[in-house]
Amino acid sequence: MGNSFTRTFFEKTRLIARPAIAWLLVSFSTSALCQSSVDVDNWPQISAEARGQRVYFHAWGGDTALNAHLSWVAAETMSRFGIELIHVKLADTSSAVTRLIAEHDAGNTERGSADLIWLNGENFSALKRANLLFGPWAEAQPNFELVDADRFPEMRQDFGVRTDGYESPWTRSQLIFYYDSERLIEPPRTAQSLRTWLRKNPGEFTYPRPPAFLGTTLLKQLLIELTAEETSADIETLFSNPPNESFDAVSAPLWAFLDEIHPYLLREARHFPQSGAQLRSALNDREISLAFAFSPNEVVSSISRGELAPSTRSYVFESGTLSNVSFVAIPNNAPSKQGAMAVANFLLSPEVQFKAATNAKLASEPVLSFENFTPDQQAVLLENARAPGAVSPTELARKIQEPHPSWTNELEREWLRRYGGGR
Amino acid sequence: MTWATRFLFLLLGAPLLVGSILALAPAFAYYMPDGSFNDPLNHSSNHPAGLIPPAFFALVSTPGIATSAMTSLLAGLLTPALSLVSVFLFLAATQTGRASKLIAQLAAPVLAIPHAAAAFALALLLAPTGVASRLVATLAGWELPPDYLFINHPNSVALVLGLALKEAPFVLLVALAALPSTAAPRRVALARTLGYGPTTAWLLTVAPALYPLIRLPLFAVIVFASSTVDVALILGPSLPPTLSVRLVEWFVAPEIEQRQLASAAALLQLFISLSALGIWLLFERLIARAYATIAARGAPREASRVSRFEAVLTPVGNALLPISLVLVLMGIAALCLASVGGQWRYPTILPTTWSLQHWSAALSSWQAPLFNAIAIALLSVTAAIVLSLVTLEAQARSRAGTASLSTFLYLPLLIPQVVFISGIAVFAERTRLPPSLLLVAVGHFFFVMPYVYLTLQSGYARLDSRWLLLAKTLGASRTVCFWRVRIPLMSTQLITAAMLGLTISLSLYLPTQILGAGRVPTITTEAIALVSSGSRGTIGTWALLQSALPTLCFMLALLLPRLIWSKRKGML
Amino acid sequence: MNNGLELQNVSLRVGSRQLLALSCSVAPGEVITVMGASGTGKSTLLAFIAGFLGDAFTAEGKVFLSGKELNTVPAEQRRIGLLFQDALLFPHLSVAANLKFGLIRKVGESPEARDSLIEQALEKIGLAGFGDRDPSSLSGGQQSRVALMRLLLSEPHAILLDEPFSNLDMQLREEIRTFTFDTLRAANVPAFLVTHDLADAQAAGGRIIAL
């Protein structure tokens, strides 16, 4: 189980760390006993210590279905493990990062406000760089092996940055496009055909304003696709490294593309929607006829909620779309680390993953592969894949890896510089 | 100054000062915590010589910052102007007749509706897929929604409108409270005998007397309009957003350079709000001079010129304010429709299916926000009432002056919320105070206190001094005088002050968000968090929930005195 | 003298202007009337005696009540009752509660004893059974009588009357006037009456001081 290198490394340091920590405990006996020595490999001890703990789970709260799912998870963790899970609803994950950094600045090393954070990408890399995360712990979880990280390396990679066991997978998502099949017979399946289509049908498309996650995602998607068309360079290497001085040259096609299509967008690009949800409701109201979301279940769940018409269909671009895994991490100053680990492990269990996968209202895919579910569960999953509006698994297999997190920052900065100040 | 007044000065002044300093100081940081030179733009090549703090340099280089600042400034000037004009025209046209009493009664519950809810309501009405557009679509036979930009337009008209819809009733009620002391009917009668029409007479003779009495509340409107975050998020432009919205974005960003940028922006925000005040004062002078010129021109001799002016002003005055109230009510109706609507595609006027899913979703998660909101409101209002009564009673007993305190109390309303609240948050962080309900209640206290104090102060001033004399001659000690004479006779003001304070606390967003660090959800923070959800039903439901509590408080404020004093007609 | 109200060289000024200067003594049961036009300081004099002199005024001289000097005694301890133009019955209290307001609490007195006292008082003014009524439901004359009784129940050592009948109409004035002075005489306390109506002064039956 797990990475043998990390295990050996951890075991070696444990021999030195243990006596030192014991000394600290004796000297500062007033601090919480469960702080300093958390033995991630001793799972029975962790479960025992987790019982009775209160875990503050900082996760984006803008999705009521996800909030409801987490309420169910909380009820289960309480009844099964005696852990009180509290979902702290964030408007934006980066606010959790800010808070953590502020706590660190103020010297708060033991009573942090978050025990578990849902994050990925730049948020994770920022915290990992600043050494604000507890770990490694993820691969020591009993359920980690279900993820089959050797076969699916993206379980250990977060936007190209190695997780090194500092975060545990929870959900995965992929960019999909969707459209109203009553108004659009053949949607554009490449960036070029998107541009052609927009010229002939102005006002039928738009995207959320960066730095909203979905808007930046479109920028990355278009950039990768346009760069692949223009140059013959090694796209993978180019984008898994941070951008360097060639950023302007590399991103030039993207800005040229946007300059061309902006006048043909909804509201002539004088105002962008704030989120994917607003984009969806614009499609539903027939303001636009093409939209996109970072969730394969988007159309199915929206149809079931009555938020999209049953005639809506979803698809993936010909050359693939961006896909990533999102994780949960534990801050260094979390008071309830054991509880947090127990919760993360529970999130990886087939039961929770299946409940999420079959929840028509949720917007994500499970991180457990098909084989981990029981035959009954597999039958249900297959049935769901055939629902109207669902993306076919063959299309979903066309995945593009996320670029290095720094690309996000640079792209957002440049977009804001060019378009953020208004015309 | 009594000890109580000094204590209040300290209690309010110290956090304001400390908070503002802590919020603004990082803007001047030349060095990062690790000792390296502060270079927020990462373009170290052409940083100018060291006098300008780096954060300011970065602020000035932010794309669209001038537009953001101008938008905030404009909103800060146009909102009070629009509110003032509509209120004055209304009062002039109706001359406190029956219509004005009716409108005043309607205006009061509109006041209870939180700003964000009113903004949502307006957006639901006037968006391209909103109710108004659907009505036109049904009449004109459109199938697709028009592609126009009004809400979120860069010219911030929608923002000003949304703010004015809420501020005009506020100005109206403040004006009505001050009106009796201007002896308006006498002035108007006098002017009419000199040949002026009734509306013009009111505008020329009563308005100049009324305006100084409502100046301070108007200043509060100016500062609020130039620094609002929640309404700007909903109705304001996004390319670029208003200064206050960007400020909050930077403040919650993880990078420390952004925090410093936020401090610099806070200073700019302070400057913008003060500039708006300054420009307003300039306009006061100009208008005063215009009035003098008009007055010097003398009474109109030809009836025709009078009646033309009157003929335009009177119907406009009669209509403006009522129309705005109707707009708000229509918006609330739209919110109600949205909250119980299932499918509501364009262009149907009513939802095609009805559903309680939004309500059941909201009600399954409203317990904690509801509890927090009520607890915070009760804590802050109780503290405000107790402190106000202690101070006012001490002043009454020592016969000390009160003017300086009343003006000072306006200070939290004249400094942009975001400036000193973020400073208090930094202070709490440094002193390891955890984000808690209590801390948020303390934050709310600063905004509740001015209104509570001023309401109670007017109660103290209006109480006939003979009651206390009488009680004393009957041998009542000062304690008995306070509890058995003053408090019962001021009960209506007490109830009004309490309800006003509760309403304000219930609709505060920024203090709860920043001081609570997201761990103290209230109905308001939950509602605003759902702005980007795009779901009309969810937004409608939470906007209604957000409005329900203050409206309840307002109704209680009307009913309670009637209930308590049902057997004592002399009290009503 | 021992009982009664005495004013020694009392002089009231506003700014540098002198309003009035007065020395007199009032025996128990006697009513002294001070008469004068508006602005001559009549009400100010009463305010001074009762202990409520406003900041704009300066006063010299001493006031004695039952032999005790009052200048340093706070108003609520002077045992001086005041009757105003308006009855000023507390609108938030019932008639009985109004009467009870000034009733001196005696040690060991039971609530029932106080209630019966109130009831007797109401009978004396012809308003038996009116205890639970809302004061605003009483007529002007009834209110005046209750106000007077409230005053007496506080067992004052002196009573000041500030134009108490001027708000009553002609018919009522005669009736209330007679009632008031009869009651005052029976109570045997010194009284100061301020009025501009000569008929009031004559009904009072005591010395008249003109300002």
The CATH number given to whatever domain includes residue C98 is 3.40.50.300
pLDDT of amino acid A20: 42
pLDDT of amino acid B87: 92
Name the percent of chain B lying above pLDDT 70: 93
Which chains contact C through at least 3 pairs of Cβ atoms less than 8 Å apart? B
Tell me which chain B residue has its CA closest to the CA of residue C52. Answer: B469
Same domain, A224 and A290: yes
Same domain, A39 and A161: yes
Same domain, B129 and B173: yes
Same domain, B175 and B283: yes
Structurally, chain C folds into a number of domains equal to: 1
pLDDT at B401 exceeding the cut of 70: no
Domain-located, residue B33: no
Hey, what amino acid is at C98? Answer: N
Parent domain of B473: 1-23+357-572
Interface probe for B, chosen from A89, A117, A262 (most Cβ of B below 10 Å), is A89
pLDDT of amino acid B46: 46
Average pLDDT of the residues in A76-88: 93
pLDDT of amino acid B231: 92
Domain-located, residue A396: no
Same domain, B516 and B565: yes
Which chains contact B through at least 3 pairs of Cβ atoms less than 8 Å apart? A, C
Parent domain of C11: 5-210
Going by beta carbons, is chain A in contact with chain C, meaning 3 or more pairs sit under 8 Å apart? no
Please tell me which of B54-58, B253-257, B300-304 the model is most confident about, judged by mean pLDDT.
B54-58
Same domain, B407 and B288: no
Q: Evaluate whether B38 touches B260 at the Cβ level (below 8 Å).
A: yes
C76, B475: Cβ pair inside 8 Å?
yes
pLDDT of amino acid B301: 63
Average pLDDT of the residues in B190-212: 87
pLDDT of amino acid C107: 72
Phi and psi dihedrals of B362, rounded to 5? -65, -45
Same domain, B446 and B383: yes
B239, A420: Cβ pair inside 8 Å?
yes
- Measured between CB atoms, which of B128, B534, B536 is closest to A275? B534
pLDDT at A318 exceeding the cut of 50: yes
Which residues of chain B make contact with A123, given a CB cutoff of 8 A? 254
Q: Alpha helices of B298-366 — where are they, by DSSP H?
A: 303-339, 357-364
**SS3 of residue B47 by DSSP:** coil
Same domain, B118 and B237: yes
Same domain, B269 and B382: no
Domain-located, residue A393: no
Average pLDDT of the residues in B44-61: 68
pLDDT of amino acid B184: 86
Domain-located, residue A395: no
Same domain, A291 and A375: no
pLDDT at B102 exceeding the cut of 50: yes
B466, C79: Cβ pair inside 8 Å?
no
pLDDT at A411 exceeding the cut of 70: yes
B475, C82: Cβ pair inside 8 Å?
no
pLDDT at A19 exceeding the cut of 50: no
Top pLDDT among B374 and B526 is at: B374
Same domain, B69 and B2: no
pLDDT at B455 exceeding the cut of 90: no
**Residue A383 pLDDT class (50, 70, 90 cuts):** confident
* Nearest residue to A388 via CA among A353, A360, A347: A360
Domain-located, residue B30: no
Domain-located, residue A152: yes
- Measured between CB atoms, which of B63, B129, B145 is closest to A417? B63
In terms of Cβ atoms closer than 10 Å to its own Cβ (0-12, 13-18, 19+), residue A285 is buried
Identify the sign of the CA torsion B318, B228, B381, B117. Answer: positive
Which residues share a beta bridge with B506? Answer: none
Structure-block tokens of residue B153: 């337009």
pLDDT of amino acid A31: 36
C92, B476: Cβ pair inside 8 Å?
no
Average pLDDT of the residues in B156-165: 92
Domain-located, residue B40: no
Q: Which tens digits make up the pLDDT trace of C120-133?
A: 889 988 888 888 88
Parent domain of A17: 5-172+325-388
Please tell me which of A8-12, A261-265, B169-173, C154-158 the model is most confident about, judged by mean pLDDT.
A261-265
- In whole angstroms, how far apart are CA A74 and each of A54, A88, B359, B533, C140? 11, 12, 22, 23, 70
Identify the sign of the CA torsion C172, C173, C179, C184. Answer: positive
| Average confidence score pLDDT of chain B | 85
- Tell me how many degrees the CA angle B102-B108-B111 measures, rounded to the nearest 5: 145
pLDDT at B385 exceeding the cut of 90: yes
In terms of Cβ atoms closer than 10 Å to its own Cβ (0-12, 13-18, 19+), residue A206 is buried
Give the C-alpha separation, B526 to A62, whole Å. 9
Structurally, chain B folds into a number of domains equal to: 2
pLDDT of amino acid A396: 81
B475, C104: Cβ pair inside 8 Å?
yes
Domain-located, residue A398: no
**Residue A13 pLDDT class (50, 70, 90 cuts):** very low
pLDDT of amino acid A116: 94
Domain-located, residue B42: no
Our CA-based measurement puts residue B2 at a distance from the nearest CA of chain A, in whole angstroms, of 38
Structurally, chain A folds into a number of domains equal to: 2
Helix (H) or strand (E) holding C23: strand C17-26
Going by beta carbons, is chain C in contact with chain B, meaning 3 or more pairs sit under 8 Å apart? yes
C84, B466: Cβ pair inside 8 Å?
yes
pLDDT of amino acid B431: 82
> Which of A113-152 are b and which e, b meaning 16 or more Cβ less than 10 Å from the residue's Cβ?
bbbbbbbbbbbbbbbbeeebbbbbbbbbbebbebbebeeb
Same domain, B389 and B508: yes
Domain-located, residue A268: yes
pLDDT of amino acid A4: 43
pLDDT at B44 exceeding the cut of 50: no
Q: What CATH number corresponds to the domain at position A168?
A: 3.40.190.10
Our CA-based measurement puts residue C149 at a distance from the nearest CA of chain B, in whole angstroms, of 12
Top pLDDT among B283 and B186 is at: B283
Q: Alpha helices of chain C — where are they, by DSSP H?
A: 42-50, 95-101, 111-124, 140-153, 170-187, 198-204
Last residue of a domain, one of B303, B320, B355: B355
CB distance from B568 to chain C under 8 Å?
A: yes
CB distance from B482 to chain C under 8 Å?
A: no
**Residue A41 pLDDT class (50, 70, 90 cuts):** confident
Last residue of a domain, one of B320, B355, B390: B355
Domain-located, residue B437: yes
Identify the sign of the CA torsion C116, C122, C125, C127. Answer: negative
Average pLDDT of the residues in C86-103: 89
pLDDT of amino acid A25: 41
B473, C82: Cβ pair inside 8 Å?
yes
Tell me which chain B residue has its CA closest to the CA of residue A100. Answer: B254
- Measured between CB atoms, which of C51, C92, C150 is closest to B568? C92
A309, B345: Cβ pair inside 8 Å?
yes
Average pLDDT of the residues in B484-506: 90
pLDDT at B50 exceeding the cut of 70: no
Radius of gyration of chain C (CA): 17
pLDDT at B307 exceeding the cut of 80: no
Top pLDDT among A96 and B37 is at: A96
Average pLDDT of the residues in B102-127: 87
Last residue of a domain, one of B320, B339, B355: B355
Please tell me which of A103-107, A163-167, B94-98 the model is most confident about, judged by mean pLDDT.
A163-167
**Residue B96 pLDDT class (50, 70, 90 cuts):** low
| Average confidence score pLDDT of chain A | 84
- Alpha carbon A122 to its chain centroid, in Å, reads 11
Same domain, B94 and B63: yes
pLDDT of amino acid A257: 95
Same domain, B319 and B467: no
pLDDT of amino acid B160: 95
- Measured between CB atoms, which of B399, B471, B489 is closest to C92? B489
Q: What CATH number corresponds to the domain at position B302?
A: 1.10.3720.10
Our CA-based measurement puts residue B265 at a distance from the nearest CA of chain A, in whole angstroms, of 16
Average pLDDT of the residues in C73-82: 86
Q: Which of A316-320, A345-349, B177-181, B203-207 has the lowest mean pLDDT?
A: B177-181
pLDDT of amino acid A208: 94
Domain-located, residue A292: yes
Same domain, B100 and B163: yes
Going by beta carbons, is chain A in contact with chain B, meaning 3 or more pairs sit under 8 Å apart? yes
pLDDT at A53 exceeding the cut of 70: yes
Domain-located, residue B36: no
pLDDT of amino acid B45: 41
pLDDT of amino acid B335: 92
Average pLDDT of the residues in B207-231: 90
Same domain, A148 and A198: no
**Residue B266 pLDDT class (50, 70, 90 cuts):** confident
A98, B252: Cβ pair inside 8 Å?
yes
**Residue A17 pLDDT class (50, 70, 90 cuts):** very low
Same domain, A46 and A144: yes
Give the C-alpha separation, A293 to A365, whole Å. 13
